[in-house]
Structure 1
Amino acid sequence: MLRLITDFDGPIMDVSERYYRVYLFCLEEIRYPHQAVRQLAKAEFWQMKRSQIPEKQIALNSGLDETQAQEFAQLRRKTVHTESYFEYDSLIPGAVEALLKIQQAGVDLAVMTMRRVKELDYACQKYDLGRFFPENRCYCLSNDYVKTRDIEDKPLLMTRALAELPPAADTWMVGDTEADIAAAKKHDIKVMAVESGIRDRTQLELYYPDLIVPDLNTAVNFILESRVSTSSSNT
């Protein structure tokens, strides 16, 4: 059996609008009355996020002072995963088509995400994604889970998944961050990083994934083509 384990935000969901709306909210909340600030355009802001520019530096670049930058970073951390902002997420173009393609090819499909149950359920219901990810193929955080760092939490999810899922002859992980790459590498799973998420190519290269591809659709095509060529060479 061939299996694909995919991250959710990045390969499937575009979170850039949510992050940008939270940035705008935090900037407005933290600025002093009548203080002149430099509101970053969404493209500039998102490129900073993808380059892993720290939150405090983004605040300083926007015209806040050192004290405000600290407050900005704290408020942003408290706000970015709150319920009212998840409505700004949208599907990555081509992601649903990619999931359909891999499902119809008979590949076992699972999702592994740092979202909490309620956050994953919200998006799955809104975009009818439950047809790809039944409950026994969803690996996410419980609603009361106390997060540490994604790069530590995600390998724990992978450990749980591999203990619970039926054995597979071949497994690929697809994700958009160093946490996905770390989770796969810890368990000797091949990993493809996508450029459609919250890390740019330069950041992804630092963690040596097996491949870097533009998006989930390209990843799926590669996996299916590899399977065809493998089965051809075995005949």
Structure 2
Amino acid sequence: MLRLITDFDGPIIDVSERYYRVYQLCLQKTRRPDQKVKELSKPEFWQMKRSRVLEKQIAMISGLDEVQAQEFAQLRRQTVHTEPYFQYDRLAVGAVDTLLKIQRAGVDLAVMTMRRVWELDYAFKQYDLGRFFPENRCYCLSNDYVKTRDIDDKPLLMTRALKELPPAADTWMVGDTEADITAAKKHGIKAIAVESGIRDRAQLKLYHPDMIVKDFSTAVDFILERSLQPIGNR
């Protein structure tokens, strides 16, 4: 059996608009009424996020002082994962077609995400994605889970998944962050990183995934093609 474990945000959902709207809100709420600020364009902002520029630094580049930048970063953390802003998430280009292709190929598909249960349910309902992921193939955080760091929390989810899922002859992980790569590597699973999410190629390379590709569709095409090859040719 071929198994694919995929992250959610990045491969399947584009969160860039949500993050940018929260950036705009935090900048406006933190600036003084008479203060001139430089609001970054969405491409400028998103490239900084993808290259892991710190929140405080983004705030200061936007014209806030150091004290305001601290306030900005705190407000952003409190806001970015709240319900009013999830409406700005969008399906990643080609995501549903790729999920249909996985389904038709008979691949055992699981999702593994740092979203909480309600956050994942929200997106499932918004885009009718539950049809691809039965409950016993969904690995996410409980609503009351106290997060530490994704790079620590995600390997714990992977440990749980591998205990609960039936054995597979071949397992792949697709994700867009260092947490996905780390979770896969800790368990000897092949990791494909996608550039369609919140990390750029330079950041992904630091964690040595097996491959870096453009998006979810490209990753899945590679996995399916490879699974069809005779074992001696892999």
| TM-score in terms of structure 2 length | 0.98
Task: Return the alpha-carbon distance in structure 2 between the equivalents of residues 167 and 95 of structure 1.
Answer: 26
Question: Residue 45 of structure 2 corresponds to which residue in structure 1?
Answer: 45
Task: Return the alpha-carbon distance in structure 2 between the equivalents of residues 5 and 34 of structure 1.
Answer: 50
Superposition deviation, residue 228 in structure 1: 1.1
Task: Return the alpha-carbon distance in structure 1 between the equivalents of residues 150 and 83 of structure 2.
Answer: 20
Question: Residue 160 of structure 1 corresponds to which residue in structure 2?
Answer: 160
Task: Return the alpha-carbon distance in structure 1 between the equivalents of residues 230 and 129 of structure 2.
Answer: 30
Moved more, 221-230 or 41-50: 221-230
Q: Which runs of 5+ in 1 are unaligned?
A: none
1:59 to 1:192, Cα distance in 2 relative to 1, 3 A: same
Q: Which runs of 5+ in 2 are unaligned?
A: none
Partner SS for 1:131: helix
Q: What aligned pairs does 1:57-96 form with structure 2 within 5 A after superposition? A: 57-96=57-96
The residue type equivalent to 1:73 in the other structure is: A
Identity of aligned residues (%): 76
Task: Return the alpha-carbon distance in structure 1 between the equivalents of residues 5 and 173 of structure 2.
Answer: 5
Describe the superposition over 1:3-59 as per-residue Cα deviations: whole angstroms up to 9, x where unpaired: 000000000000000000000000000001110000000000000000000000000
Task: Return the alpha-carbon distance in structure 2 between the equivalents of residues 45 and 167 of structure 1.
Answer: 42
Question: Residue 196 of structure 1 corresponds to which residue in structure 2?
Answer: 196
Task: Return the alpha-carbon distance in structure 2 between the equivalents of residues 159 and 109 of structure 1.
Answer: 16
Task: Return the alpha-carbon distance in structure 1 between the equivalents of residues 3 and 103 of structure 2.
Answer: 10
Partner SS for 2:192: strand
Question: Residue 213 of structure 1 corresponds to which residue in structure 2?
Answer: 213
Report the count of equivalent residues: 234
Task: Return the alpha-carbon distance in structure 2 between the equivalents of residues 149 and 131 of structure 1.
Answer: 30
| TM-score in terms of structure 1 length | 0.98
The residue type equivalent to 1:141 in the other structure is: L
Superposition deviation, residue 230 in structure 1: 2.9
Task: Return the alpha-carbon distance in structure 1 between the equivalents of residues 80 and 233 of structure 2.
Answer: 48
1:233 to 1:42, Cα distance in 2 relative to 1, 3 A: closer
Task: Return the alpha-carbon distance in structure 2 between the equivalents of residues 96 and 172 of structure 1.
Answer: 19
Question: Residue 124 of structure 2 corresponds to which residue in structure 1?
Answer: 124
Task: Return the alpha-carbon distance in structure 2 between the equivalents of residues 8 and 233 of structure 1.
Answer: 31
Task: Return the alpha-carbon distance in structure 2 between the equivalents of residues 104 and 69 of structure 1.
Answer: 49
Superposition deviation, residue 103 in structure 1: 1.1
